[in-house]
Amino acid sequence: MSFRLRVTLLAAGAVAVAVVGAAVLMYFVVQTQLLTQFNNTLQDTANGVQNPREGGPGGRFPGGPQGSLSGRSDVAAQIVSTNTGTVSRSDAQPVVALVTPGAIAVASGSAPAYFFDTTLEGSHLRVWVSPGAQRGTALEVWGPLDPIESILAETRVRLALVAFAGVLLAAALGTVVARAALAPVQHLTSVVEEVARTRDLSRRVAATGNDELSRLAASFNEMLGALEVSLRQQRQLVADASHELRTPLTSLRTNLELLARGHPTDETERHAVLTDLVNQMERLSTLVADLIDLARDEEASLPVEDVRLDEVVTDALAGVRGRYPNVLFTVVSQPTTISGVRSRVSRAVTNLLDNAGKWSPVGGVVEVSVADGEVSVRDHGPGIRPEDAPHVFDRFWRASNARHLPGSGLGLSIVKDVAEKHGGSVTLEPAPGGGARFRLRLAA
């Protein structure tokens, strides 16, 4: 069953239930009013008989048969006596079948007035029994219910026809409503199917208004935009990674082929080739590790905890000092705690320190400070040119004067990724007297 058909059936069912319910309610209202009016007629007739001054033959009910007890042509009356247990007076012929034990009880005063229904000679009657004007008597007033039942039967037929027509109209209206309401959904579905078929993430759905479907279309457009950006970044990452991997692999292959042919024969040159092999392997390993760190979202699997940022910097410096023995790293730190993934924060801090050590001259000083959830790393190298500053955090970007230095071009990009995923930021500032200063801010 399609969604449109379900909506049609639900709308038609709701309207049909309302129509049928209204018809049933109307029938019971009509039935109640007719029976109540008939009951009131019997009671008013009985009051007229009991109080001739207020009504009676030719008085309250003018036009009735002259000399009749009820004074009406549509109802009849008779008086039952407890002394004889018979009818003492009636409109025409006494109706002995209506002299019931209940009527005698009312006449004797042992029971209150009441209604009862009976069938007499094929006619359905309703009888009102009340105490008579004289002690020991009861007044019975009755009339046929057949006209009311006939009216109710006709009412049932007409209401059934109205209900049936209402159901048909509800089905038609449900179809129209479903078509109109689901038109935006159908358009959204066609766009989704086309995107799935063509892989074209540039398609968008027209979203106007503030209703639920418009918000759904807007959310779908945002999702398509995010997917398009993600796909573009993924393709760019693959292209850049392929380019960066090609260089060390080509160098490795060339050097290995030389060694396989027994070249070079000079021991010094051979040692240089082996050293270059080791350097290219290290570069390749660093590049692969950076790609893995950049591609996976470790926050989804690693626990978030309170991290002492000053301790992370101290541990990172222990490893960086060994890689840059000719650079002096000075530290000014205060105890500061942040919330994050310790391994990722450590990687970001290490990348900043590596970057500063790589650009520092022999005997240079790298100044590190830690306070209030921020790590500041300042080197005294050549600095970064203003035209290069906007690109330092781009993936695989390397300055023209950094081509000869080891690295993958991913270190600072990883720092930015870690900072943003920890609710922080990383910025570059020109340092007075030359060099560059990086500030890594992480949320406490």
User: Are residues 139 and 234 part of one domain?
Assistant: no
What's the Cα-to-Cα distance from 71 to each of 37, 67, 92, rounded to whole Å? Answer: 18, 7, 12
Instruction: Give the list of residues 6+ apart from residue 135 with CB closer than 8 angstroms, or none.
Output: 109
Q: Closest Cα partner for 129 from 33, 39, 34, 31?
A: 39
pLDDT of residue 59: 36
Residue 161 domain flag? yes
User: Rounded CA gap, 54 and 38, in Å?
Assistant: 20
CB 61 within 8 Å of CB 51 = no
Residue 424 included in any domain: yes
Based on the domain organization, do 355 and 384 belong to the same domain? yes
Please give the pLDDT value at position 64.
40
Is the same domain home to 290 and 305?
no
Task: Name the domain boundary from 294, 316, 351.
Answer: 294
**Is residue 188 domain-resident?**
no
12 in Cβ contact with 174 (< 8 Å): yes
269 found inside a domain: yes
Amino acid present at 345? V
Same-domain pairing of 288 and 306:
no
Give the pLDDT of residue 189.
78
Residue 237 sits in a domain whose CATH number is 1.10.287.130
Is the same domain home to 334 and 279? no
- Based on the fold, state whether residues 86 and 218 are members of the same structural domain: no
> In angstroms, rounded to a whole number, what is the distance separating the alpha carbons of residues 80 and 219?
85
Q: What are the φ and ψ backbone dihedral angles of 227, each rounded to 5 degrees? A: -65, -40
Cα 440 from Cα 340, distance rounded (Å): 14
Tokens of 190: 């066609």
Write down which residue in 294, 310, 342 finishes a domain.
Answer: 294
- DSSP, collapsed to helix, strand or coil, labels residue 368 as strand
**Structural domain contains residue 192:** no
Domain that holds residue 373: 300-441
SS3 80: strand
Question: Which distant-in-sequence residues (6+ apart) come within 8 Å of 282 by Cβ?
Answer: 406
Identify whether residues 286 and 320 lie together within a single domain.
Answer: no
Of 133, 166, 181, the one marking the end of a domain is: 181
Nearest to 329 by CA among 307, 351, 310, 313: 313
Per-residue pLDDT of the chain in tens (444 residues, 90 and over written 9): 677 777 778 877 888 888 888 889 999 999 999 999 999 999 988 888 887 654 444 333 333 444 567 777 788 888 888 766 677 777 777 888 888 888 888 888 888 999 999 998 888 999 999 998 888 888 989 999 999 999 999 999 999 998 888 888 888 877 887 777 777 777 777 888 887 887 777 777 776 667 777 777 788 888 888 888 778 777 777 776 776 677 678 878 888 888 888 888 788 888 888 887 887 787 677 777 767 766 665 444 677 889 999 999 999 998 888 888 899 999 999 999 999 888 889 989 998 998 899 889 999 999 999 999 999 999 998 888 888 888 888 876 666 555 555 555 678 888 898 898 888 999 998 888 888 999 999 986
CB 363 within 8 A of CB 326: yes
Task: Report pLDDT for 56.
Answer: 42
Rounded Cα gap, residues 81 and 9, in angstroms: 65
In Å, what is the CA distance from 49 to each residue of 63, 390, 397?
Answer: 15, 109, 113
What's the total number of domains in the chain?
Answer: 3
Cis status, amide bond into 112, omega within 30 of 0: no
Mark whether 158 and 228 lie in a shared domain: no
Structure tokens at 261: 């042919």
CATH, residue 387: 3.30.565.10
- Is residue 330 assigned to a domain? yes
Q: How far apart are CA 23 and CA 281, in angstroms?
A: 87
142 shares its domain with 81: yes
Same domain for 164 and 82: yes
Nearest Cα to Cα of residue 145 among 233, 42, 270, 1: 42
CB burial readout 73-106, b (16+ within 10 A) else e: eebbbbbbbbeeeebeebbeebbeebbeeebbbb
CATH number at residue 33: 3.30.450
Q: In Å, how far are 97, 287, 303, 309, 422 from 306, measured between CA atoms?
A: 99, 29, 10, 9, 12
Q: Are residues 29 and 126 in the same domain?
A: yes
330 with 423, same domain: the answer is yes
Provide the pLDDT for residue 40: 93
Least Cα distance to 306 among 417, 422, 416 occurs for 422
Q: Is residue 7 part of a domain?
A: yes
Q: Where are the strands (E) in 21-163, listed by range?
A: 76-81, 87-90, 114-120, 123-131, 137-144
**What is the model's pLDDT at position 298?**
45
18 within domain boundaries:
yes
